Amino acid sequence: MAAPPRLLLLFTLINVLVLNASSSSSTSFTPPDNYLINCGSPEDTVLDDGRVFKSDPQSSSYLSTDEDVLTSINAFPKNLSSSSSSSPLYLTARIFEHESMYRFPIVNLGRHFIRLYFYPLPHPSYNLTSSTFTVTTDDLVLLHGFSVKDNSKMVFKEYLINITSDKLTLTFSPMKKSVAFINAIEVISAPEELIPDSASALLPVGAFNGLKDYAFEVSYRLNVGGPMVTPKNDTLWRTWIPDGKFMIFPEGSKTVSVPTEMIEYPKSGATPLIAPPWIYATADQMADSGTSDPNFNLTWEMSVDPSFSYLVRLHFCDIVSKGLNELYFNVYLNGLLGASSLDLSTLTSGLAIPYYQDFVLNASSISNGSVIIQVGPSSNTQSSVPNAIMNGLEVMKLSNSARSLDGLFSSDGTKTKRNLAMRVAAGVGLTLGATAILLLLMGLVRRQKSPKGYVKQKTFSSWLLPLNSSQCSFLSSKSKSTTFSSIVNSGLNLGRYFTLNELREATKNFDEKAVVGVGGFGKVYLGELDGTKVAIKRGNSSSSQGINEFQTEIQLLSKLRHRHLVSLIGYCDEQSEMILVYEYMAYGPLRDHLYGSNLASLSWRQRLEICIGAARGLHYLHTGSTQGIIHRDVKTTNILLDENFVAKVADFGLSKAGPASLDQTHVSTAVKGSFGYLDPEYFRRQQLTEKSDVYSFGVVLFEVLCARPALDPALPREQVNLAEWAKQQNAKGAIEKIIDPVIAGSISQESLIKFVEAAEKCLAEYGVDRPSMGDVLWHLEYALQLQGTASASASASASASDAASASDDEKKKKIVEKDETVVVDMSDDSGVVANPMFLENFHGR
């Protein structure tokens, strides 16, 4: 649920104030963005560094979960609390059964720390040590298929990412039949200067530029030669651990330390934000060997994932020399010379002055899975005593080409690159009139007929199923490696098998009178099975497609289950029939409730709820499966309403833009049917992405607002295309003029602004500029909230049917959500119940 901006601002202010009050350390950095959440905790948690982590109820406004989610659980094992070394942040957790998101408004764009705390607490209903999940940001994979198998281990993950939009979404997606959990979250602005754009490259030697394009995961951060430095003593609440266990030959080293007051930061270069004085005031140096060979290296070895490149930051501060130019040493990274005869006193013009250097270690240099850092005396040393030192070291993983920090899966398989050709195409596209688009369309249809068409030929899937990213050769293919069989074998519910006789009976032998629709697939009949009304889609059995493929497709389809997708109940493949049985949606297509029929008008609130429902369904389609499925034909006739006005997206399994094997009238009818909704970028490039659905959904939103068809040739030319007309009117600030007059008076101004903003963003020229369905959903929920506050008093008179729009279940859930207490969804079929014992434990602490 979204929180009103004022509330968010308040949170931010409180955070800032708390920080200011507590930052007694020498240098203070006040992060403009500072979100600290102790997930699952019923009360705020104050750490020993003075920071306050918000309780679960206090932070629920950032959380947006799917409605069927069991939202939160507190677990509190008694043993853990007594162990003083562990942070209180690990004592509670939030568990997600379904994909869930935290969204944080971002005040200052740029680098931010994201810190995640995981500990698999024991719980009677969930086995968190066996849970597997994925954590992503808006465009980055932080963790993929992540689990904490060892229940004695607390796992801390820290990232440094560049946030380029005004909000950050952290998405937790459980794997199939699993849950996700999180114990605590930090999202904190990092100072601009923390990561410069360039570093030294080693192979070949030179400068590595463009660090700003990478995200980082902190793999190691060591305070060499000193104790652990906790967030309390760090300027940016970092943790530095001792280096002892990473040293290959600890006997060869001895520690040295000076009082922190002796550390003098240079005018340019290192600052207390780069590393606090505690780091520079301690070091390892070479032990007085007393041996015949005083020449050796101090060596640290840290195991890493060898498929990634790393940024290595080495911190030095000459706290050992008595005078200038006494200490010369070499630095090696994985055997490659990083610095030769490094002379700190020359670099810093003094002693005890911090200095750091950044290196990029390419994945190709990390052959055996470790980063090895060595320092050793330079052979041409002028100094009397050979020595080498190290004060601190940091190893940070660089994101890979899939924008991932964990494996090769990207968070969004549809990453696109803009090129010049596209820009030109865009320019042309903008000037195209409706006729030109029509011409293009015809070209598109022709293209589909050619063997090189974008639709996979000669398989059932190409017309029964919407395209999904992994099947589209033009989409980034290396980022997706899910195989079809892995989906099929993932233990899904195949739906019910019906005999042909059963279905004959249900439809009175496929009586023409029972036909309620005709689609690309074939006819749709209203039938009755065991007293339940169902929609029965009968495929054209003259098609050449194989029954086996049909069955395989059903398996894929039946794994898509969501409250806002029309569900597949079962199928029949007897005697070469290809029949799908769906739940029946009593109130039919949304479009009929907007215009062109005699049905009663929907209130604004109802319309918002319907849009939210449809957005949820599409969001699930895009993100709910590993593949990400594209609907391809989002429009108001494909959004159906049940008898409670709950919106469900239909036809997601029956994309109509079929292959050449179907007759052309069918294809052109299908394309024409979507005319007015089609993504302009999709025209130009014939590349389907989820963002094409987002575009179409934008048209749906305006259709809902204005209650007119997406395309109305009867209107004056500039008004024919709703998307263009609405954008034009909005640009002129005249959107009010085209709102459905029936509801115009009852929409609150704030709600309208938010809604139109969402719709307009969906219609952005380029897919990359359009929001994800998750973002759209967020906007719409916000719009509903704004309407709620505006019309709470007026709502009684507004519409009686309004109240009927939300089912009882939904209302219950809303109330629970508003309450911001532990939410337990009894209706969830996983049979999970709240365990009061745990809460008692907590309060009895």
Q: Which of 174, 171, 170, 176 is nearest to 146 (CA)?
A: 174
| DSSP assigned state of 415 | -
Residues 267-286 that bind ligand NAG (CB under 6 A): 278
Q: Does 122 bind ligand NAG (CB under 6 A)?
A: yes
Give me the residue label for tokens 């239909």: 650
Binding region for ligand NAG (CB under 6 A) out of 292-300, 321-329, 548-556, 685-693: 292-300
| β-strand pairing of 184-189 with 155-163 | unpaired
Structural contact between residues 614 and 540, judged by C-beta atoms closer than 8 angstroms: no
Q: Distance (Å, rounded) from C-alpha 455 to C-alpha 520?
A: 15
Residue with Cβ nearer ligand NAG (20 or 827)? 20
Least distance to ligand NAG, CB of residue 442, Å = 40
Report if residue 369 touches ligand NAG, rule: CB under 6 A: yes
| Candidates 122-130, 541-549, 819-827, 831-839; binding stretch for ligand NAG (CB under 6 A) | 122-130
Region of 121-129, 703-711, 783-791, 817-825 interacting with ligand NAG (CB under 6 A): 121-129
Cβ of residue 109: shortest distance to ligand NAG, in angstroms?
Answer: 7
User: What minimum distance in Å lies between the beta carbon of 814 and ligand NAG?
Assistant: 34
Selected binder of ligand NAG within 4, 32, 77, 266 (CB under 6 A): 77
26 near ligand NAG, judged by CB under 6 A: no
Give the nearest distance from C-beta 38 to ligand NAG in angstroms.
Answer: 19
The CA–CA distances, whole Å, from 813 to 66, 67, 316 equal: 11, 8, 56
Under the criterion CB under 6 A, does residue 370 sit at the interface with ligand NAG? yes
Euclidean distance between CA atoms 749 and 736, whole angstroms: 10
Secondary structure, 3-state, 490-524: CCCCCCEECCHHHHHHHCCCCCHHHEEEECCCEEE
Region from 360-368, 460-468, 540-548, 709-717 binding ligand NAG, contact rule CB under 6 A: 360-368
Size of interface with ligand NAG, in residues (CB under 6 A) = 33
Residue in 240, 263, 636, 682 with CA at minimum distance from that of residue 443: 682
CB of 293 to ligand NAG, least distance (A): 8
153 is in an annotated binding site: no
Three-state secondary-structure class, residue 653: coil
Q: What DSSP assignment string belongs to 58-85? A: HHGGGEEE-TT----B----HHHHH-TT
Q: Return the number of the residue (718 or 840) whose C-beta is nearest ligand NAG.
A: 840
DSSP helix/strand/coil, 396:
strand
- For residue 613, the minimal CB distance to ligand NAG (Å) is 35
Alpha carbons 67 and 777: distance in angstroms, whole number:
12
Nearer to ligand NAG among residue 27 and residue 164 (C-beta): 164
* Residue written as token pair 């709502």: 795
145 is a site residue for ligand NAG (CB under 6 A): no
Closer residue to ligand NAG (CB): 371 or 615: 371
Nearest-angstrom CA–CA distance, 585 and 640? 6
Torsion sign over Cα 767, 768, 770, 775: positive
- The reply to whether 368 sits near ligand NAG by the rule CB under 6 A is yes
Residue from 20, 130, 349, 486 binding ligand NAG (CB under 6 A): 130
229 binds ligand NAG (CB under 6 A): yes
For tokens 């020449």, the residue is: 295
Of 172-180, 355-363, 596-604, 707-715, which part binds ligand NAG (CB under 6 A)? 355-363
Q: According to the binding rule CB under 6 A, does residue 239 interact with ligand NAG?
A: no
Q: In the window 320-349, what residues touch ligand NAG (CB under 6 A)?
A: 332, 335
**Is residue 511 annotated as part of the catalytic site, yes or no?**
no
Question: Is 55 among the residues that bind ligand NAG (CB under 6 A)?
Answer: no
The structure tokens listed for 282 are 């301690």
Helix or strand run (H / E) with residue 808: helix 808-819
Q: Which of 51, 98, 103, 111 is close enough to bind ligand NAG by CB under 6 A?
A: 111
Return the sign of the alpha-carbon dihedral for residues 124, 130, 131, 135: positive
The beta-strand segments (E) located in 258-388 are 282-286, 298-303, 310-316, 329-333, 336-342, 355-361, 370-377
Q: In this chain, which of 58, 285, 374, 730 binds ligand NAG, going by CB under 6 A? A: 374
Q: Does 309 bind ligand NAG (CB under 6 A)?
A: yes
Cβ neighbours of residue 493 closer than 8 Å, sequence gap 6 or more: 558, 559, 561
Instruction: Please report how close the Cβ of residue 77 comes to ligand NAG at its closest, in angstroms.
Output: 4
Please identify which of the residues 56, 343, 633, 740 carries the catalytic annotation: 633
Q: Rule CB under 6 A: is residue 297 a binding residue for ligand NAG?
A: yes
Q: Are strands 198-202 and 355-361 parallel, antiparallel or unpaired?
A: parallel
Q: Any idea which residue has 């990412």 for tokens?
A: 161
CA angle 562, 566, 571 (to 5 degrees): 105
Task: Pick the closer one to ligand NAG by CB: 239 or 748.
Answer: 239
Nearest distance in Å: CB 376, ligand NAG? 4
Residue closer to ligand NAG by CB (options 264, 301) is: 301
Give min distance, CB of 55 to ligand NAG, in A: 23
Query: Nearest 5 degrees, angle CA 291-CA 294-CA 298?
Result: 115
Site string for ligand NAG, 381-410 (x = CB under 6 A): -----------------x------------
Note whether 748 binds ligand NAG by CB under 6 A: no
Helix (H) or strand (E) segment spanning residue 16:
helix 5-22
Q: How many helices (H) and strands (E) does the chain have?
A: 23, 36
Residue with CB nearest ligand NAG? 212
- Sign of the CA dihedral 835, 836, 841, 843? positive
Residue 358: CB minimum distance to ligand NAG, A: 13
User: Where would I find the beta strands (DSSP E) of 166-274?
Assistant: 167-174, 180-182, 184-189, 198-202, 205-209, 216-223, 241-242, 253-257
Annotated binding site: 537
Annotated binding site for ATP: 537
Q: Residue numbers of the site for ligand NAG (CB under 6 A)?
A: 77, 79, 110-111, 122, 127, 129-130, 162, 164, 192, 212, 227, 229, 233, 278, 295-297, 303, 309, 332, 335, 360, 362-364, 368-370, 374, 376, 398
As annotated, the active-site residues are 633
